[in-house]
Amino acid sequence: MSLVPFDDRDGTIWVNGDLVPWRDAKVHVLTHGLHYGSGVFEGERVYGGKVFKLTEHTERLHFSAEILGFKIPYSVAELNAATQKVLDSNAIVDGYVRPIAWRGSEMMGVSAQKNRINVAIAAWQWPSYFSPEARLAGIRLTISKWRRPAPDTAPTQSKAAGLYMICTMSKHDAENNGYDDALMLDYRGQVAEATGANIFLVQDGVLHTPKPDCFLDGITRRTVIDLAKRRGFEVVERAIQPEEFAKTQEVFLTGTAAEVTPVRQIGDWTFTPGAITKTLVEDYDKEVGRTHDKAASARNSAS
């Protein structure tokens, strides 16, 4: 199957206040964000033509920029309205949204105090193909050699572009070795997250998840914690050592792209997606307003 490059598509992208043709949404090769990683972004999912928890995502984009030392020149309300304009312009019903803000090319060097802060919002179709039952097969993770950095060595609470370099390296290495993704430990050797999703463990009916003190406290993570508590499940946020996987029955990931994704293997440890994982997969789907056409799911699973 040939890939459709993201720079050669039909549609429009919102850039600095205006909708522009998709292929014209470009930046200069000497953009500061490209050379020094001075950019922040979000990943958002669209269900039924609306972004799930849009305001929370937009507020986090602003917060990320503040951590990197710049101010986004559009309010939360303005960016929310621009996002809806992009969805309407591109007729996105079920899809993915990528807002990004970055320092421009006015100054080239480590210092870039006078650079313009640019903002763009793109969206594309991303339908849901599988039923909760099909997703319960689970994915396989290896353990990355790269670790999430300490909060005094990197802006770990910002969704900053530069922080994802080791995620890309980790995921590529995992895929090259036959795995779906990689588990990343933190600077202390404790369980942190996957390359783009938070992690939960089920031990004797109790949910455990790492305390997000050096990585993002994901919006989907918080949503799933709320869903679990509504069900009466106990949720414990704490430091988790990798050897605890030996006494863990279920594992799943949460994220905007991952949603709730069961895990069946991490390194040499194996798990069976069970009742708690299945319940939260289904509850999350209901929370975002997803309904399932069983016949369509069967066709897609067989294709």
Residues marked active site are found at: 159
205 in Cβ contact with 279 (< 8 Å): no
Q: Where are the alpha helices (DSSP H) in 18-135?
A: 32-36, 54-67, 76-90, 132-135
| CA–CA gap between residue 185 and residue 148 (Å, rounded) | 6
What ranges make up the beta strands (E) of the chain? Answer: 12-15, 18-21, 39-41, 44-47, 50-51, 95-103, 117-125, 139-148, 181-186, 191-194, 198-203, 206-210, 235-238, 250-255, 259-266, 269-270
Structure tokens at 278: 């299945």
Give the DSSP letter of residue 91. T
265 in Cβ contact with 141 (< 8 Å): yes
Question: Residue 104: what residue type?
Answer: G
| CA–CA gap between residue 261 and residue 280 (Å, rounded) | 10
| CA–CA gap between residue 172 and residue 182 (Å, rounded) | 9
Q: Which residue, chain included where needed, has tokens 């289904």?
A: 282
Q: Is 296 helix (H, G, I), strand (E, B) or coil?
A: helix
Q: Which residue, chain included where needed, has tokens 């309407």?
A: 88
Rg of the chain in Å (alpha carbons): 20
